[in-house]
Every structure is written in structure tokens, then in C-alpha cells.
Amino acid sequence: MGSIGKFEEIIGYKFRDRSLIEHALTHSSYANEKKIPGGSNERLEFLGDSVLSIVVSEYLYTHLSHIAEGELTKMRASLVCEKSLHIFAQKIQLGEFLRLGKGEENTGGRERPSILADAFEAVIAAIYLDGGFEPASRHILRFMPEDLQTHRNPVFNDFKTILQEIVQKNPEEMVEYILVGEEGPDHNKRFVVEVCLNSNVIGRGKGRSKKEAEQLAAKEALELMGYEAQ
């Protein structure tokens, strides 16, 4: 595990409160194993996800004034999905600095996309809490592609966005994703999510991260609706 000082050099930000970045780099497997007060980086991930969405939304809105809302939504989804965040995390060598439990360490946790993507969001939150919106925004914008047009046609299927676009044609309809279970040890956990339409379950998914499980639940819902999800 690399030092905090080295990580600060890589990201170009020096923390006033280093406990924030230490927390951001702490996976649940390590927190549970060491019984760390305050737990893992999951709460920071929650906050970082929101900050990331705001920054990317503003960036796209400002730089692509000619693009319609629906297309902007798809582009944002392609930039903040697990696949993209995994790539961003690799650029700052994030895996080297994670605090992992022994089981996760021994099964390749430092390279696992879901863990890196979640930690990337947690780091955003740590910067935001330590220095405010501006440094968090600068950090995020480092990863935005120079040619935004390349992200107009994502190479992956964002099933959640597709499902939302179908449902929002009827304003009275509401989609909700509910975590209904977790299976397996910390280093090999599976999350189970159900997607509900007006409280009725229309899809179920299981994945190595909550995001993956949500995508798979949306995929099943789309297939039930007759959409041929790839």
C-alpha cells in the first residue's frame, strides 16, 4: 500500500485533514477486519457520486450547448459509469493506495473495477469535504475527454438510463431501485437489487457492486418489456 503523501502528489491535492483521504481509501473488507471506527469509504462514495454528477452535468451543459437533454443524459452516464471510473482510477494508480482486507487483497481487489470505481468517488468526496467544491471540480475535470463527441455513442449499454427514458414518458410512473440482499464474504460479495415500477417489482439483478446489480435489474426489466437488451 502506497503512502498518502505519494497519492497526494499524483492527484495534485494536499489534504489539510488526512483522515478524510485515509477514510476514502478504506474498503469495507479492511474496516471490518480491523474494526475501524467510522467504517469504510461507502458513505464518502455516496457523497462523491453526487458531486461527480453535478460537475460532469455542468461541464456537458456548458460545452455542448447544441446537444439535447436526452443525449446529454446518455453522455453523462457514459462518463460516470463504473467502466469509465475504473479507467480514471487506474490513471491515478488508485489501486496501489487502497486499504483492503486480506481476503480482498488475495483475490485481486486492487484491480477490481467495482472497488476502484467506488474508491474514485470516495476520493472526490474527501477532496470536497476538505477543500470545497472548486478543488473537487478541478480534480474531476482532469479526466474529461478532450473530444466530447467520442462519448456521444457509448460503447456500453446503460440500461438504467434506457429504462428511465421509457418510464418518464408517463409522468405518473416512478422507478425505484432497492437493495434487497447481500451474499458472500467481503472479498467476494454479491449485491441483490430489485427495480420497482410504482412499488411493483419488474426486474432483479445480482452483481459484484450495487451499480452492477442495478444495471442488471434494469436489463431484466427492459427484457420483460420487450426491449432487446444487449
The catalytic position among 49, 104, 194, 212 is 49
Look up 130 and say whether it is catalytic.
no
What phi and psi values does residue 60 have, to the nearest 5 degrees?
-65, -40
82 contacts 209 by C-beta, under 8 angstroms: yes
CA 203 to chain centre: 21
How many CB atoms within 10 Å of residue 133? 12
* 194: β partners: 178, 204
Between CA 99 and CA 197 the distance in angstroms is 38
- Choose, from 45, 104, 118, 121, the residue flagged as catalytic: 121
49 catalytic? Reply is: yes
- DSSP label at residue 184: S
Phi, psi of 154 (to 5 degrees): -55, 145
DSSP string covering 111-152: G-HHHHHHHHHHHHHHHHHHH-HHHHHHHHHTTS-S-GGGGS
**Which residues, other chains included, contact 173 with Cβ-Cβ below 8 Å and sequence gap of 6+?**
167, 197, 198
Q: Please count the other Cβ atoms lying within 10 Å of the Cβ belonging to residue 126.
A: 27
Question: Do 123 and 27 contact (CB within 8 A), yes or no?
Answer: no
| Catalytic annotation, residues | 49, 121
